[in-house]
Structure 1
Amino acid sequence: MTNPPNPALPDPRVETLVSAQSLVSTYEQAGYTRAHPAILQPADPFLDLSGEDIRARMFLTSGRAGAELCLRPDFTIPVSRDYLASPLAGRPQGFCYLGPVFRDRGTLPGEFLQAGIESFGRSDKAAADAETLSLGLATAAHFGNDSPDIRIGDVGLFAALVSALDLAPAWKRRLVKDFNRKASLAHDLDRLTLGKGNGRPDYQGVLAALAGSDPKAAHALVTDLLSIAGISAVGGRSVGEIADRFLEQSTLGALAALPPYTRTLLERFLSVTGNPLDASVEMREIAKDGGFVLTPMLDLFDARNVELTQHGIDLKRVVFSSAFGRGMDYYTGFVFELTDGKSTEPLVAGGRYDDLLTRLGSNTQIPAVGFSVWIERLAGGAS
């Protein structure tokens, strides 16, 4: 006698997947083409261009020929690479996606479902930013959340402010890069303020020897030394990035200093928060007091506010913070997160990354903006 076949165990992910597929269909109806980037990706772009949070949680492996590979930790870089390799490169084009991404999340599953959009090549940046946030809100509504908390920022405003400072280029790059790491940014400001001291590292003699040498030759020397020592990656950083950061220290150890008044203005700027309309007025006052020319970026900020209103977004619901960043090193402008008020983990989040495609090999700058969707969070599952 044979036992009757057991019914299949119910899979709670099926309903979530159906909703996610329906969501991506709405993106396609809005003009975004479905993208299908490979799961296995070259690791270097992520190691070089993503933030430290992503680098530390990547799943890495190597091919037989020694190439370092990874399971894709997000979609932005893979979709960008595929776009650049296509005949559409350089033309305005939007893509949408749905699929698994892979990150070490401790006790949570390392594989989870993500959807999203990426928009390339649009010169009407304020309108593209507003459309992106509007689609993000529609995404939350698709899963029944009609009024998520909206938080926005603008990396470009801080970058423009830093650009106006009388500092060595390496310090300017350092401050902008550390914008997403608040403790590091505070440490940078301490090092730059008069009377705080530089806290020179023990290997300052090596750095001093390299200072002023040909950058390419110095980079090649440090890279060779790391390779001879058998170092391929440390803390998720590639050998090239380790060399870059090591050489950067020779410049950061120079005598550049930040007057206390300038630091006060920077901290005043970084404390701006609230309604975007009021924030614009406050930031213009700070720029005027400090003699900083931020008009182009603030004009874009104001134009975006107009576009957001035209997309039906009530600016009274929006909280702007000048210190808000998103942990990805490639963001260059508008950033946002939607949350449910019960957790700080984003449901939908993204922003503008105008320099990424150039860093991936494009000969010309291609404007880009997009967002990612945490499907399980929106569906009420694991975060």
Structure 2
Amino acid sequence: MSLDPTLRNIRGTFDILPQAAASEGAHEVPSCAWQHVEQVIREVLERFNFREIRTPILEPTPLIARGVGQLTDIVAKEMFAFRRGETDYVLRPELTAPVMRAYLQHRLDQQGSVQKLYYLGPCFRAENPQKGRYRQFHQFGVEVIGAETPEADAEVIAAMMAVYEAFGLRKLRLRLNALGDADTRPRYKAALQAYLEPYAEQLSAISRKRLETNPLRILDTKDARERRLLENAPRILDFLSPSARAHYEAVKAHLQELGIAFVEDPFLVRGLDYYTHTTFELESPDLGAQSALAGGGRYDLLAQELGHEAAVPAIGFAAGIERLLIALQAQHYAFPEDPGLDVFLVALGQNAARWSLCQAQQLRREGLRVDLDLKGRSMKAQMREANRQQARYAVIVGEEELLRKQARVRDMRTGQQHDVAFDELSDFLKGTVVRLT
């Protein structure tokens, strides 16, 4: 089969197929593995009493520009934005700003003092596609809105760690830092600029631009020469106010009490303007240079950036499902196999085909996974199809079986065959079917 090349899926996106795939434009992990991962994520987060929130894929462009920050790479270079009529739209590049918008718009503060929310869905960025980085990717994460205590920070980090522990991932590293309160970041920004300005000519073109606009992003550099220049740079922890330091120390103490290991990293600032106080990132060595599995932090100032009259304490994390899948594959995670069918109905002739169509519906109402031939093929071809779909049983009916009102039921594992009356077929199958796991 052929397809007009101009109609293939867009570079940086992929199809998720029912079976494992090796073709270009398809993700190698089948849909049943994605479903398993999503189910585990939901189960873990719901044990922490997080409740799901779903926001639109389309959001107003100003929401992301104001929420994420005009000078961030996301807004400056990575948004898929367009105008229709008088409205500017963007395909959401992240979900924290949309969740905060929903919180404010729908007055979720009136539903309880603290909102514990989780999400799972696609996001879009104009990335240069590479392993673990796509133009359409899938995020999951949580937001705790309305709690300013260090316990809330520890709860979010504990929930993040619990997800990855549920998959049995090893060799993970949690990096931790603090950005302080509203006064800390401007003072540190000025100190960092003063330190780096004499070295401006030694910085890359990107870092020279960031030096004027967003110097904290230089701390994220992977350039070896710039890393050496930063060795003696001022540390943001030295600029924390007493209350900000107390908050950070309390978070560390809670993590230690919970048995969650971490390393302090003064260079961890993350790329979004709305972060304050705690910031963190979880890394896996199985991801290569782009090692981040998940990350997040506190963003008490975001609500005001969106026009709210006062700060709203909030903290959360976001994580990529594609990156999680890469780490799971690297550690040879045993994804559950597709369970296959319980029953495949093999019909010989038009009358039997009509009977099979009705019988399939009845068996499905009884909770069985059932399929049937829709192409009018031979018995041999239908049996091959039953075998291909890993059916536990094949139920064979032709004119003779219709007259006797008995079906031939073949055990596809053993080859044994039974004659079963039509009115006993459902009970027989429900009593003998053992689902594949």
Regarding TM over 0.5, the answer is yes
Q: Identity, % of aligned pairs?
A: 28
> What is the deviation of 1:143?
2.7
Q: Residue in 1 aligned with 2:83? A: 62
Are 1:97 and 2:43 counterparts?
A: no
1:76 aligned partner, one-letter code: T
Structure 1 residues 86, 266: CA separation in 2 closer, same or farther (over 3 Å shift)?
Answer: farther
Determine which structure has greater relative contact order: mean sequence separation of CA pairs < 8 Å that are 6+ residues apart, divided by chain length: 1
1:267 aligned partner, one-letter code: A
Output aligned runs, 1:49-198, within 5 Å.
49-51=67-69, 52-55=72-75, 56-63=77-84, 65-89=85-109, 91-108=113-130, 109-124=134-149, 126-156=150-180, 160=184, 163=187, 175=189, 187=193, 189-191=195-197
Structure 1 residues 9, 26: CA separation in 2 closer, same or farther (over 3 Å shift)?
Answer: closer
Match of 1:312 among 259, 279, 283: 259
Structure 1 residues 303, 107: CA separation in 2 closer, same or farther (over 3 Å shift)?
Answer: closer
Q: Secondary structure at the match of 2:127?
A: coil
How many Å separate the matches in 2 of 1:38 and 1:352? 23
Gap regions ≥5 residues in structure 2: 1-16, 21-29, 201-211, 214-229, 331-437
> What is the deviation of 1:50?
1.8
Q: Is the 8 A contact 1:161 1:294 kept in 2?
A: no
How many Å separate the matches in 2 of 1:322 and 1:345? 18
> What is the deviation of 1:123?
2.9
How many Å separate the matches in 2 of 1:112 and 1:293? 35
Gap regions ≥5 residues in structure 1: 1-7, 164-171, 177-184, 197-244, 247-263, 271-282
Q: Is the 8 A contact 1:54 1:103 kept in 2?
A: yes
Q: Residue in 2 aligned with 1:239? A: none
Q: Residue in 2 aligned with 1:182? A: none
How many Å separate the matches in 2 of 1:345 and 1:45? 29
1:10 aligned partner, one-letter code: Q
Q: CA RMSD in A?
A: 3.3
How many Å separate the matches in 2 of 1:294 and 1:363? 24
Q: Is the 8 A contact 1:21 1:98 kept in 2?
A: no
2:281 aligned partner, one-letter code: E
Q: Is the 8 A contact 1:24 1:97 kept in 2?
A: no
Are 1:379 and 2:325 counterparts?
A: yes
Quick check: which has more Rg, 1 or 2? Answer: 2
> What is the deviation of 1:323?
2.6
> What is the deviation of 1:159?
5.0
Moved beyond 4 Å, runs of 4+: 185-188
1:16-35, Cα deviation, whole Å (9 max, x unpaired): 23311331232123111110
Q: Give the TM-score, by structure 2 length.
A: 0.55
Aligned residues: 269
Q: Residue in 2 aligned with 1:369? A: 315
1:249-272, Cα deviation, whole Å (9 max, x unpaired): xxxxxxxxxxxxxxx9993435xx
Q: Give the TM-score, by structure 1 length.
A: 0.63
Q: Secondary structure at the match of 1:151?
A: strand
Q: Is the 8 A contact 1:113 1:375 kept in 2?
A: yes
